[in-house]
Chain A
Amino acid sequence: EAQVTQNPRYLITVTGKKLTVTCSQNMNHEYMSWYRQDPGLGLRQIYYSMNVEVTDKGDVPEGYKVSRKEKRNFPLILESPSPNQTSLYFCASSLFGWASGGALDTQYFGPGTRLTVL
């Protein structure tokens, strides 16, 4: 089954304790991205990746890191989480990114990770 998976689905942690949220897709997609969803603010892009070893900042990258060592995986790293990073996080992927000459095509989203930082 074609899908985007995220782990963990729920996480409660404390300020300053490093954590990683994993994202994996099995569709051989080039483009992957991370969004956070907050009440009243909607979904906002954190980071995106056009392909392996190619990543760039989105609208709200502060406090986050990413890496793209393999095409299928795009982990989101919070080196020192703070309470303002409490949010619902989504990973998304699509076959092509902008660099392919077109625009983002149909996006496939993971089920989300609900993170609470105390």
Chain B
Amino acid sequence: KQEVTQIPAALSVPEGENLVLNCSFTDSAIYNLQWFRQDPGKGLTSLLLIQSSQREQTSGRLNASLDKSSGRSTLYIAASQPGDSATYLCAVVPMEYGNKLVFGAGTILRVKS
């Protein structure tokens, strides 16, 4: 059964700092991996999707990498801003059943001004 773990559970950094969020998954047989952002009172917003054949994806100040063989992904946020404060969720689509996302518990990020 696929399990997704995110470390750290919470992170507090000063504005302007570069930071890395980690995601690991137990079964490397995945179709893709997605990073989401969740704001209080709002739904999840998709940030990046990495196909299993890709190594990384970039969007603005965000860069996500995927090492499928080791079951790891990282989300790199450059020059963090207070507006980046949110919960970041990692999710994989397992090859065993490609019809759902399996989520990690998330990392709560606080960027202090």
Contacts and interface: CB of A to CB of B under 8 A. Distances in A.
Interface of A: 4, 31, 33, 35, 40-45, 48, 50, 56, 58-59, 90, 92, 97-98, 102-112
Contacts of B101: 35, 43, 45, 104, 107
A22 to B, nearest CB: 15
The 9 closest A-B pairs by CB, nearest first: A103-B31, A109-B43, A98-B98, A109-B44, A43-B103, A45-B100, A103-B98, A111-B43, A98-B99
B24 interface: no
Contacts of B34: 106-107
Interface residues of B, number: 24
Contacts of A33: 99-100
Nearest to A33: B100
A104 B31 contact: yes
Interface string B83-101: 0000001010101011111
B21 to A, nearest CB: 15
Contact of A48 (B44, B99, B103, B105): B99
B104 interface: yes
A108 B46 contact: yes
B7 interface: no
Nearest to A98: B98
A50 B99 contact: yes
Contacts of A103: 31-32, 93, 95, 98
Nearest to A111: B43
